[in-house]
């Protein structure tokens, strides 16, 4: 099996700084965050080389919750279903939006699996790269906080669920992809393991969100760490290793 | 590569198993009512009874959520069909859905925002919002903690799920894999597609010059995939391709660029030539954009290759469009077609749109069927294609 490399990794900035830009006039908060983390990850790389045969996988636990809420709210209040709200409410609409900006024709997947959403996105990318379905793969996770729901959901058993937000992106490639780049990778991705049913101690954090694995991986790479253990609210955990 | 199908299930608006789906498609019976394809209560009741007869699930309580119940029933039916007693730690489970359990939480959400619902009631309903809740519920109900994944890539979701399952088997990540697609009808999707002016009140007429739009439908179908052939093998999944258009949020690329690339990739993986494809089971939703893009993609695939176009048909007039589950529901039909060596006509097609320049069978045909190409195109420019081959 071919080796998998991490070429680049970044996290998003505050989406408020970008929401007014014309290119984002039809975009949701999640779309802006995802797009910004992807753009930052691709900065300084030969875009045409990377995107020649590049997959894109987006992971999100809640999807476009804010727009879904607005669609339902508008429909119940006015009886009118608005097309722009509907198209943006789909779980994979962020994927479609980023894909349009990439203008790539590679595999395009949206995955969602509660607290393992990020890990699943990474594992799916590894799978695509090993099967040579693409030579590069952009993996992005995103979660957007919905202010109207935060108050209600804060009283759930774990306050941090549902209320954190963020987006991270890593660019992975296989050996064939790496050979086309005139640069060293950040690391070789060794493994992504999900241990379900474990009983580790979860430390609550207001920055936590279900699909945060990719953002945390990007930050760990920037901090020159060599592995990442992410404990989930139910005590399950994942371990991502690189060298 | 090849993944061998040993078990199937299908709950659709025309019946509660693969055989019922095939009979409806062969005989030209549509399950659509007022333009929608709800799974009838009688079908669900019969399927519940069969579920309860399985001793392995004797202590399993069927969930109240329609999506979860359909998922569990279809899961058990596929397992029974494959002769699997359950899932092992080294097996895999992949689900595909776009709507998940929206009917469980959508009204609670609007009621909460209007302050007519308590926080406690809202939180209880909202637990069902993440799509992953459907997967975790199925895993818990079946005691499975192995490799699992949920794909939500619009109408290509379950086609992609089958492709990923094939990769998992090929890369030795799992010993066996069960793949399912679940879709239920809800106001959000019906009103949403309606406001995009895509819905038809009559049964759809794919590829027809007088097409009227699409029909949303429910569907729950699973396939059991194994690495090796056995007495139970029904068909082989030999090729897959996944691509994107990078073009539009809801419309496919007008020339079907991504769809063409997905089919080409699937043929490459299957390592077969164009003239070995005997039938293309199209996505064929009956929308103008889909018909034109898919037809253009098929024409491009065969252009200047010195090969005659194969038969192309769609079965959506029969069972409607089950969105994320459509790829797997229609793959069940492909598998049945391979077993019966029969190509289905496109019911509802009366006046083929001449601009599409496709070859449509006028009637169901007994014919040697070696390989079938199965397409799906989804919102966001998500395309996927599979090659289904005889055993």
* Strand B92-96 to B147-151 pairing: parallel
SS3 B335: helix
Residues of A in contact with B257 (CB under 8 A): 105
pLDDT at A156: 65
Of B114, B150, B378, the CB nearest to A111: B150
Read off the pTM.
0.97
Residues in chain B closer than 8 A to A114 (CB atoms): 130, 132-133, 135-136
Q: Give the span between the Cα atoms of B211 and A185, in whole angstroms.
A: 52
Residue B8 to residue B217: CA distance in whole angstroms? 19
pLDDT of residue A1: 58
Q: Retrieve residue B228's tokens.
A: 């090796």
Q: Residue B238 pLDDT more than 70?
A: yes
Name the residue of chain A whose CA is nearest to B163's CA.
A128
- Sequence-distant (6+) residues with CB within 8 A of B276 are B370, B371
Confirm if A117 and A210 have CB atoms less than 8 A apart. Answer: yes
CB B232 within 8 A of CB B6: yes
Q: Say how far apart CA B9 and CA B177 lie, in whole Å.
A: 14
Query: What count of residues does chain A have?
Result: 243
Rg (CA), chain B: 20
Kindly report, residue by residue over B263-313, the tens digit of the pLDDT.
Answer: 999 999 999 999 999 999 999 999 999 999 999 999 999 999 999 999 999
Can you list the domains of chain B with their CATH numbers? 3-389 (3.40.47.10)
Taking only the tens place, the pLDDT of each residue in A126-175 is 999 999 999 999 999 999 988 888 777 776 655 556 678 999 999 999 99
Q: What is the dihedral of CA B107, B111, B114, B119, to 10 degrees?
A: -130
Q: Are B240 and B272 in contact (CB under 8 A)?
A: no
pLDDT in tens, B194-203: 999 999 999 9
Q: Which residues of chain B have a CB within 8 Å of the CB of A149?
A: 126
**Domains of chain A as residue ranges with CATH:** 4-242 (3.40.47.10)
Closest alpha carbon to B340 in B288, B254, B289, B279: B279
Q: Does residue B153 contact residue A92 with C-beta atoms inside 8 Å?
A: yes
> A76 and A38 in contact (C-beta within 8 Å)?
no
Beta bridge partners of A143: A166
Beta bridge partners of B291: none
- Mark which residues 133-192 of A lie under 8 Å from B by CB: 133, 148-149, 152-153, 155-156
pLDDT digits (tens, 9 = 90+) for B341-376: 999 999 999 999 999 999 999 999 999 999 999 999
What phi, psi does A25 have (nearest 5°)? -65, -25
pLDDT grade, residue A2 (50/70/90)?
Answer: confident
Handedness of CA B337, B338, B342, B348 (dihedral sign): positive
Residues 6+ apart with CB under 8 A from B340: B22
Encoding tokens for residue A194?
């999900």
Q: Where are the alpha helices (DSSP H) in B28-101?
A: 41-53, 66-82
In chain A, which among 4-23 make CB contacts under 8 A with chain B?
Answer: none
């Amino acid at each position: 099996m071919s080796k998998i490399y991490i070429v680049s990794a970044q996290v998003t900035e505050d989406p408020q700084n970008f929401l007014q830009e014309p290119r984002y006039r039809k975009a949701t908060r999640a779309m802006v965050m995802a797009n910004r983390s992807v753009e930052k990850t691709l900065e300084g790389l030969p875009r045409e080389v990377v995107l020649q045969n590049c997959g894109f996988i987006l992971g999100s636990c809640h999807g476009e919750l804010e727009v879904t809420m607005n669609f339902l709210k508008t429909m119940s209040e006015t009886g009118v279903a608005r097309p722009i709200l509907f198209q943006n409410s789909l779980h994979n609409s962020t994927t479609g939006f980023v894909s349009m900006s990439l203008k790539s024709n590679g595999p395009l997947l949206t995955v969602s699996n509660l607290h393992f959403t990020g890990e699943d996105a990474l594992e799916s990318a590894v799978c695509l790269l090993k099967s040579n379905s693409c030579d590069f793969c952009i993996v992005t996770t995103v979660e957007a906080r919905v202010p109207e729901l935060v108050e209600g959901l804060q009283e759930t058993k774990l306050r941090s669920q549902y209320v954190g937000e963020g987006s991270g992106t890593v660019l992975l490639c296989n050996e064939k992809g790496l050979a086309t780049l005139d640069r060293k990778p950040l690391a070789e991705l060794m493994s992504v393991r999900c241990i379900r049913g474990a009983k580790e101690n979860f430390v609550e954090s207001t920055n936590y969100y279900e699909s945060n694995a990719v953002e945390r991986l990007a930050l760990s790479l920037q901090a020159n760490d060599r592995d990442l253990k992410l404990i989930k609210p139910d005590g399950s955990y994942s371990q991502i290793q690189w060298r | 590569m090849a993944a061998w199908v040993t078990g199937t299930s299908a709950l659709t608006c025309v019946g509660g198993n693969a055989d019922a789906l095939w009979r409806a498609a062969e005989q030209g019976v549509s399950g659509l009512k007022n333009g929608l394809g709800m799974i009838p209560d009688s079908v669900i009741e019969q399927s519940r009874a069969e579920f309860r007869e399985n001793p392995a699930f004797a202590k399993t309580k069927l969930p109240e959520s329609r999506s979860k119940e359909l998922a569990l029933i279809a899961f058990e039916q596929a397992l029974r069909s494959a002769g699997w007693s359950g899932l092992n730690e080294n097996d895999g489970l992949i689900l595909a859905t776009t709507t998940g359990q929206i009917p469980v939480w959508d009204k609670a959400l609007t009621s909460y925002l209007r302050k007519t619902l308590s926080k406690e009631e809202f939180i209880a309903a909202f637990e069902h919002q993440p799509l992953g809740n459907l997967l975790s519920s199925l895993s818990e109900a079946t005691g499975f903690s192995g490799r699992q994944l949920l794909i939500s890539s619009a109408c290509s979701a379950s086609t992609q799920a089958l492709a990923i399952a094939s990769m998992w088997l090929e890369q030795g990540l799992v010993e066996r894999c069960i793949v399912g697609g679940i879709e239920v009808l809800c106001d959000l999707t019906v009103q949403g597609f309606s406001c995009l002016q895509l819905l038809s009140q009559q049964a759809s007429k794919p590829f027809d010059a007088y097409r009227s739009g699409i029909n949303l439908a429910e569907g729950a179908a699973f396939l059991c995939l194994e690495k090796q052939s056995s007495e139970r093998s029904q068909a082989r999944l030999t090729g897959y391709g996944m691509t994107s258009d990078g073009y539009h949020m809801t419309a496919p690329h007008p020339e079907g660029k991504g769809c063409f690339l997905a089919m080409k990739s699937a043929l490459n993986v299957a390592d077969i030539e164009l003239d070995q494809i005997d039938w293309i089971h199209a996505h064929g939703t009956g929308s103008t954009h889909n018909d034109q893009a898919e037809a253009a993609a098929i024409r491009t695939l065969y252009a200047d290759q010195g090969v005659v176009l194969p038969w192309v048909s769609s079965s959506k007039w029969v069972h409607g469009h089950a969105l994320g589950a459509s790829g797997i529901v229609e793959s069940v039909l492909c598998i049945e077609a391979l077993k019966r060596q029969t190509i289905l006509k496109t019911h509802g097609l009366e006046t083929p749109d001449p601009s599409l320049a496709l070859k449509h069978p006028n009637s169901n045909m007994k014919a040697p069927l070696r390989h079938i190409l199965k397409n799906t195109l989804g919102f966001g420019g998500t395309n996927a294609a599979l090659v289904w081959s005889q055993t």
